[in-house]
Amino acid sequence: MNETVSVEIMGEQFTIKCPSDQKANLIKAAKMVHEAMKKISDQGTAFGVNRIAVMAALNIANDAITGNSDMAAKIRTEYDSEMDLDEIQNKIENLSLDVENSLNSGIDLKLQ
């Protein structure tokens, strides 16, 4: 299902439709673009929103291509973190069940 999301980049509002499960990624991407454009604008090295946008896009693309670790940290979303936590919780629940089953059955538990 698509959802309408409003984001602000460099003082301008953009309304974008995206799948509901991609909303967090869209918001994060807009924030990254805004921050990249603001950094370029604050340096005073490029003038005009179009030129600043192109410079920001090139910087973001270069970071993605070269594997810039700062970029990788920014790309992780809250969704990724939630999935990590869900996976950890599932492992803990499974381990707890294994321990409980072992205790109830009298069989030695072999942990891996």
40 within 8 A of 32, measured Cβ to Cβ:
no
Identify the residue with better confidence: 70 or 42: 42
Over the stretch 41-65, which tens digit does the pLDDT of each residue have?
999 876 788 999 999 999 888 888 8
Mean pLDDT of 61-75: 73
The CATH class for the domain spanning 2-75 reads alpha beta
15 within 8 A of 5, measured Cβ to Cβ:
yes
**pLDDT category, 81, cuts 50, 70, 90?**
low
| Displacement of CA 52 from its chain's centroid (Å) | 23
For the chain, the structural domain boundaries read 2-75, 78-106
3 within 8 A of 18, measured Cβ to Cβ:
yes
Over the stretch 27-40, which tens digit does the pLDDT of each residue have?
888 988 999 999 99
